[in-house]
């Protein structure tokens, strides 16, 4: 049966489509801008992109009609990397960092990830959902329509499962698309400090099979870095996860070079993330295996750390994606618009590169490229409308250029559960 349009955006000044699949090398500069165009949606999907929608396709009598003059329209942002579910804050850590201590020093002194773990273990599922909902609302306000969520602040069987159940509940509410990642290997918890092997066994033998059986996560990630999980440990965990059918992600080369990017490529991971200290070999291997590099500029900014070799990655054909890394310890920033701004000002990306990285390429990095990330007929109608005449305003008007409307599956949303 022919679907009738229930939403039409007329005469759009700039429609940024990001069409044509994943973007690499020079293609990363192509955001597929169309001018003076109509966009029609029906049944939550994109039905038509072209001139004169009213004469070209059937339109419902009560369809929503929006005037797109002087506006830009683009795909919703896909935040490819967050640690959304946690309790408390890390203000004490932040103060120490501002007085000169490094993230690693603070972690070694027993604060860092572990302090968030203690508070998260205490929190009920309801409380965690309330906290997450608050941040999701800020994400939506800033144009995020799809979000990846990692566990990793439980670090024992009961609490990792609790966090994944919270993520699953958020996913099932269907307000946003959610990709769930099991990150039981986020740190060795304090209780296992003198017996790392026992914690790794707990992950491999108990957590992974349970998470799989209960279908609580699609991806498995490991914090493979100096002071966290070694290359050998990460490889063991990820190989097991792959055997269970998880798709793989790796926190790689964030604090020091460890070869995490090479490992991601070797194991056929869908993404490697952070990559501040990635090697040339790591770059080559990610490009060869089409493992996406998820860049997290808010983290470098927040930690005042080095920047990854973004230009080199692009020139070598790596698929670049963007995420906020939203978490209380290293990136207390839920906004993809700030992330795009930082990608431009701090990581020296062009606005076009940042837009592709925050939409179509980040959709690739969480396995959703066939469904969303661009404005093309048949894709889900996840759309942002900005009341500005040119897409460069997204970075030009840093952090303040918020969407006028956020449309998810063809319907305007303002808040989570709103």
If DSSP codes are grouped into helix, strand and coil, which group holds residue 307?
coil
Which segments of 174-296 does DSSP mark as H helices, in order? 196-201, 208-213, 231-244, 260-266, 280-289
Q: According to the binding rule CB under 5 A, does residue 225 interact with Fe ion?
A: no
d(CA 338, CA 349): 13
Per DSSP, the residues of 23-74 read --GGGGG---EE-SEEEEEETTEEEEEES-HHHHS-EEEEEEEEE-TT-EEE
Cβ pair 337, 143 in contact under 8 A:
yes
Q: Which span (94-102, 133-141, 324-332, 343-351) binds ligand NIG, by CB under 6 A?
A: 324-332
Q: Which span (71-79, 112-120, 379-387, 403-411) binds ligand NIG, by CB under 6 A?
A: 112-120
Interface pattern 73-92 for ligand NIG (x via CB under 6 A)? ----------x---------
Q: Which span (48-56, 326-334, 343-351, 371-379) binds ligand NIG, by CB under 6 A?
A: 326-334
Question: Rounded to the nearest 5°, which phi and psi values hold at 215?
Answer: 55, 50
Q: Which span (23-31, 110-118, 182-190, 325-333) binds Fe ion, by CB under 5 A?
A: 325-333
Residue 289 or 325 having the CB closest to Fe ion: 325
Residue 37 or 139 having the CB closest to ligand NIG: 139
Among 32, 42, 112, 189, binds ligand NIG (CB under 6 A): 112
Among 325, 352, 353, 382, binds ligand NIG (CB under 6 A): 325
Among 154, 323, 329, 403, binds ligand NIG (CB under 6 A): 329
Residue 222 or 340 having the CB closest to Fe ion: 222
CB atoms within 10 A of CB 215: 10
Interaction residues for ligand NIG, span 208-247 (CB under 6 A): 223
CB atoms within 10 A of CB 92: 11
d(CA 70, CA 73): 10
Among 82, 330, 356, 361, binds ligand NIG (CB under 6 A): 330
Cβ at position 296, least distance to ligand NIG in Å: 7
Q: Residue with CB nearest Fe ion?
A: 325
Cβ at position 83, least distance to Fe ion in Å: 6
Among 327, 359, 361, 374, binds ligand NIG (CB under 6 A): 327
Q: Which span (240-248, 323-331, 362-370, 380-388) binds ligand NIG, by CB under 6 A?
A: 323-331
d(CA 145, CA 88): 25
Q: Which span (4-12, 57-65, 261-269, 322-330) binds Fe ion, by CB under 5 A?
A: 322-330
Total of chain residues touching ligand NIG, rule CB under 6 A: 12
Interaction residues for ligand NIG, span 274-303 (CB under 6 A): 299
Question: Rounded to the nearest 5°, which phi and psi values hold at 259?
Answer: 95, 20
Cβ at position 244, least distance to ligand NIG in Å: 22
d(CA 103, CA 227): 11
Q: According to the binding rule CB under 5 A, does residue 325 interact with Fe ion?
A: yes
- Say which entry of ligand NIG, Fe ion, none residue 362 contacts (CB below 5 to 8 A, set by partner kind): none
Residue 17 or 120 having the CB closest to ligand NIG: 120
Q: Which span (11-19, 53-61, 323-331, 343-351) binds Fe ion, by CB under 5 A?
A: 323-331
**Which residues of the shown chain bind Fe ion in the complex (CB under 5 A)?**
325
Interacting residues with ligand NIG (CB under 6 A): 83, 112-113, 116, 223, 251, 254, 299, 325, 327, 329-330
């Amino acid at each position: 049966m022919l679907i009738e349009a229930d939403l039409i955006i007329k005469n759009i000044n700039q429609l940024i489509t990001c069409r044509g699949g994943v973007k690499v090398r020079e293609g990363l500069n192509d955001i597929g801008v169309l001018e003076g165009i109509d966009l029609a949606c029906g049944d939550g999907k994109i039905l038509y992109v072209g001139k004169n929608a009213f004469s070209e396709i059937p339109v419902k009598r009560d369809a929503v009609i929006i005037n797109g003059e002087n506006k830009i329209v683009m795909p919703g942002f896909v935040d490819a990397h967050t640690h959304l579910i946690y309790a408390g804050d890390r203000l004490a850590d932040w103060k120490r960092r501002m007085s000169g201590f490094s993230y690693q020093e603070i972690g070694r002194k027993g604060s860092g990830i572990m302090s968030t773990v203690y508070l998260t273990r205490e929190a009920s599922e309801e409380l965690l959902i309330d906290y997450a909902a608050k941040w999701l609302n800020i994400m939506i306000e800033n144009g995020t329509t799809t979000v990846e969520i990692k566990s990793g602040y439980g670090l024992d069987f009961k609490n990792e499962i609790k966090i994944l159940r919270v993520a699953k509940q958020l996913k099932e509410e269907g307000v946003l698309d959610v990709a769930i990642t099991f990150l039981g290997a986020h740190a060795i918890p304090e209780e296992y400090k003198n017996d790392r092997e026992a914690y790794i066994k707990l992950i491999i033998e108990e957590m992974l099979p349970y998470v799989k059986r209960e279908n609580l996560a699609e991806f498995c990630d490991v914090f493979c870095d100096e002071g966290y999980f070694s290359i050998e440990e990460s490889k063991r965990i990820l190989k097991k996860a792959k055997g269970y059918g998880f798709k793989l992600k790796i926190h790689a080369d964030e604090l020091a070079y460890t070869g995490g990017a090479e490992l991601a490529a070797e194991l056929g991971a869908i993404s490697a993330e952070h990559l501040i200290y990635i090697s040339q070999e790591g770059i080559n291997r990610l490009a060869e295996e089409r493992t996406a590099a998820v860049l997290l500029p808010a983290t470098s900014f927040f930690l005042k750390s080095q920047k990854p070799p973004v230009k080199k990655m692009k020139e070598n054909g790596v698929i670049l994606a963007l995420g906020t890394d939203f978490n209380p310890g290293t990136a207390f920033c839920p906004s993809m618009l700030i992330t795009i701004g930082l990608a431009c000002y701090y990581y020296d990306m062009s606005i076009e590169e940042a837009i592709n990285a925050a939409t179509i390429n980040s959709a690739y990095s969480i396995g959703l490229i066939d469904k969303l990330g661009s404005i093309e007929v048949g894709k889900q109608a996840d759309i942002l409308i900005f009341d500005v005449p040119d897409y460069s305003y997204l970075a030009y008007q840093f952090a303040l250029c918020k969407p006028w409307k956020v449309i998810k599956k063809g319907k305007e949303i303002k808040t989570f559960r709103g």
